Amino acid sequence: MKGDYQELVDEISALLGAPATLENRDFGLIAFGAHDSDDDAAMDPVRTRSILTRKSTPAVRAWFEGFGITRATGPVRIPAAPDAGVFRDRICLPVRHRGVVLGYVWLLDAEPHPTHTQLTAAMEVATRIGGLLADEERAGSDLSRELRAALTAERGWQYDMALAALRTALGPDADGLHAMVCVAPWPGEDSPSPRTVPAAAALCTVPWHLPAVRGGTAEPGGAREARGGRASGGGRASGAGRASGGGSEARGAGEAEGATSGPGGTPGLGGEGAWALGVLVRLRAADNLAPAASAAGRLRDTAGAGAVAGVALPRRGLTDLDTAWSEASAGARAAAAQPALGPLAEWSALGPYRLLTALPRTAPDPAVRALLGAAHSELAHTAEVFLDHAGQAGRTAAALGIHRQTLYYRLSRVEQLTGLDLDAGEDRLLLHMALKAARL
C-alpha cells in the first residue's frame, strides 16, 4: 500500500514539475516526492519538518486549515505566513473520497506556476489516492468513530459530513439493508469489535442521556423521593404496573436527571456517566430481524443483568440513520420501563410507547403529582393496572389479587388525590399517560 502511495505522489510530482508531499487528514506524513532540485529554497522548514518528524506543527496546521482545505474540492493556494513558520507559498490538493477529505497533497507554489490543465490532471491522481486511503481505513477500522459521529450529530452539515464519512468507511455495505440496535445500559465507554458480533457492520458506544425535565425542577435525595422518586421498601407484584428491576417503583418526573440506578446497582438508563451501545446490523430481508435479535441478545449478555435492547425499523441505506437511532433508543427505554415489552423491544411492537418516548420529558401534571409520590405507590400501581385492563374491575381485581371492594376503595382514593373522574375518558387518558411517562 505504501508503495502505491509513493508511485502516485511521484506521478503528481512529474505532472507538476515539483516535489509533492502526501499527508493524511491529521497532517501525518504518508509519502513524499524526491527532491532533486539545485534550489535549496525548495526544502523550506515546513517540508523538512514534515519529512523528518512525519507531522506538522499546530501553528502550521491552523494556518492551512484556515483556508478551507477541509471543505475544498479543488486546488487551494495558500500564501506564506512567516509567523506560523510557513515561509513559502503553497498549493494544496485535497484528497477526497465520496465527498470526505482523507488527506492532502502539498506542493510549493513557485515559478513557473502549474497550469489549469496540469492541476486538473493532478487532482485526478489525488482522487485515486483517496480511493486507496478509503480502502485502507475500511480495512483497518472498526468504524466506531464514524458511527458515533453520525449518531451524535444534529441534522445539518455536521450530520451530512458524518454520514458521508460513514458511507465511505462502510463501502458497498452503506447502501444495504440494516437495522439499528440500542443496548443500554452499557458497562463502559469501550465497545467490542464488530468481528465479535455476527452481522454487525459497525458499532460504537454513545453517552446515554435522557432529555432534561421541562416545567419543573429536578430535586435530589429526600425531596426527590417525597415528590415521586423511587419508592422505598419491597417490590410490587408482577404485572403491568411494575417498573423494571424488581424492587423499584415507577419514577416521578421530578427525579433528578442522571441519578438513576438500574438493577443490581448498575447505571440506569439516562444516568450520569451512563453509556449505550449502538449497533448497525446487516439484514438479508426486511421481514427477518433475526440477525438484529441475535446480536442484541449476545450483547445484552455481555452488558450484564438489567441490560435491555431496542430495535428500529429496517432501512436501506443511511439517510435516516438518526431516525433509526431514535427508534432503537426508544425501544430500549420502553423495554426498561415495561418488562412486558422486553428485554428486546422492536419499534414496531411498542404500541403507545412509540408516542410516549417521542414526547419531551416534562414535570408531571399537577393533577397527578401527589399520586406519583412514594407514599402513594400502591394507589398509583392500582390505577395503572386498572387502566391497563380498560377499566374492567373484575380483571383488575384478579390481576392485583384483591377484592373488588378494595379496588373500588383504592380508585376512590385516586380520584380524591387527583381530582380526576375515572368515568371520564379524557381524565383516564391523562392519568394513564402520566403513569406511563413517569417510567420513562
pLDDT digits (tens, 9 = 90+) for 386-438: 988 888 999 999 999 999 999 999 998 888 888 888 888 888 888 888 888 78
Contact residues for 115 (Cβ-Cβ < 8 A; gap 6+): none
* pLDDT over threshold 90, residue 63: no
- pLDDT at res. 330: 92
The reported pLDDT for the residue numbered 361 is: 73
Mean pLDDT of 305-309: 90
49 and 157 co-located in one domain: no
> Do residues 371 and 425 share a domain?
yes
What's the CA gap between 328 and 299, in Å, rounded? 14
Q: First CA to last CA across the chain, in angstroms?
A: 51
- If phi > 0 it is left, if psi is from -120 to 50 it is alpha, else beta; for residue 57 that is beta
Q: Bridge partners of 86?
A: 81
Closest C-alpha among 172, 22, 53, 44 to residue 108: 44
Per-residue confidence at 36, pLDDT binned at 50, 70, 90?
low
State the Cα angle at 244 between 256 and 208, rounded to 5°.
50
Whole-number pLDDT of residue 84: 66
| CB distance 434 to 362 below 8 Å | no
Judge if 370 and 346 occupy the same domain: no
Domain harbouring 432, CATH code:
1.10.10
**301 lies in the same domain as 385:** no
Closest CA to 350 of 376, 374, 330, 377: 330
Indicate if the pLDDT at residue 74 is higher than 90. yes
- Of 327, 356, 385, the one marking the end of a domain is 356
Q: Is the pLDDT of residue 171 over 70?
A: yes
3-state secondary structure at position 170: helix
Distance CA(207)–CA(73), nearest Å, equals 34
Q: How far apart are CA 432 and CA 365, in angstroms?
A: 12
**What radius of gyration do the chain's Cα atoms show?**
29
Beta strands in 164-246 (DSSP E): 177-186, 200-207
Position 276 scores a pLDDT of 93
Q: How many domains does the chain have?
A: 3
**247 shares its domain with 263:** no
Instruction: Single out the residue in 356, 389, 418 at which a domain terminates.
Output: 356
pLDDT at 233 over 80: no
Same domain, 24 and 71: yes
- Judged against a pLDDT cut of 60, whether residue 293 lies above it is answered with yes
Measured distance CA(353)–CA(340) in Å, rounded = 12
Cell of 33: 516526492
Per-residue pLDDT at 243: 30
165 and 121 both lie in a single domain: no
Return d(Cα 19, Cα 12) in angstroms, integer: 8
Q: Is residue 306 assigned to a domain?
A: yes
pLDDT given for residue 239 in this prediction: 32
**pLDDT class of 196 with cuts at 50, 70, 90:** low
In a domain, residue 395? The reply is: yes
Mean pLDDT of 308-325: 95
- 252 in the same domain as 265: no
Instruction: Of 49, 35, 46, 95, give the one whose Cα is nearest residue 70.
Output: 95
Instruction: Give percent above pLDDT 70 in the chain.
Output: 76
Residues 339 and 346: their CA atoms lie apart, in Å, by 13
Residue type, 359: L
Calculate what percentage of the chain has a pLDDT beyond 90: 34
Tell me what the mean pLDDT of segment 109-132 comes to. 91
pLDDT band at 252 (very low <50, low <70, confident <90, very high): very low
Q: Which residues contact 92 (CB under 8 A, 6 or more apart)?
A: 64, 67, 69, 72, 75, 76, 77, 78, 104, 105, 106
- Whether 265 and 172 share a structural domain: yes
Residue 216, in any domain of the structure: no
State the CATH number of the domain containing residue 27.
3.30.450.40
Task: Tell me which of 21-30, 234-243, 290-299, 353-362 is least confident.
Answer: 234-243
Give me the half-sphere count of Cα atoms (radius 13 Å) on the Cβ side of residue 267: 22
Question: Which of 106, 140, 174 is the C-terminal boundary of a domain?
Answer: 140
How far apart are alpha carbons 35 and 20 in whole angstroms?
9
| Weakest-pLDDT range from 22-36, 191-205, 224-238, 352-366 | 224-238
Least confidently predicted of 122-131, 229-238, 425-434: 229-238
Residue 76 is predicted with a pLDDT of 95
Confidence of residue 263 (pLDDT cuts 50, 70, 90): very low
Cell of 15: 505532472
| Residue 397 exposure: Cα atoms within 13 Å on the Cβ side | 13
205 and 71 fall within a common domain: no
Q: Which residue has the higher pLDDT, 225 or 131?
A: 131
The answer to whether residue 288 scores a pLDDT higher than 70 is: yes
Selected residue with higher pLDDT from 427 and 93: 93
Q: Which residue has the higher pLDDT, 265 or 128?
A: 128
Q: Is 401 helix (H, G, I), strand (E, B) or coil?
A: coil
pLDDT of 250 higher than 60: no
Is residue 17 a part of any domain in this protein? Answer: yes
Q: How many residues does the chain have?
A: 440
Same-domain check for residues 186 and 277: yes
DSSP, residue by residue, 183-203 = EEEESSS----GGGSTTEEEE
- Phi/psi for 93 (5° steps) reads -105, 105
Q: Give the model's pLDDT for residue 34.
A: 67
Whole-number Å distance between alpha carbons of 344 and 307: 9
Does residue 14 sit in the same domain as residue 130? yes
Q: How far apart are CA 144 and CA 150, in angstroms?
A: 10
202 — phi, psi (to 5°)?
A: -165, 150
Q: Which domain holds residue 164?
A: 144-211+257-356
Q: Across 125-139, 210-224, 302-316, which has the greatest mean pLDDT? A: 302-316
| Whole-angstrom distance, CA of residue 12 vs CA of residue 119 | 9
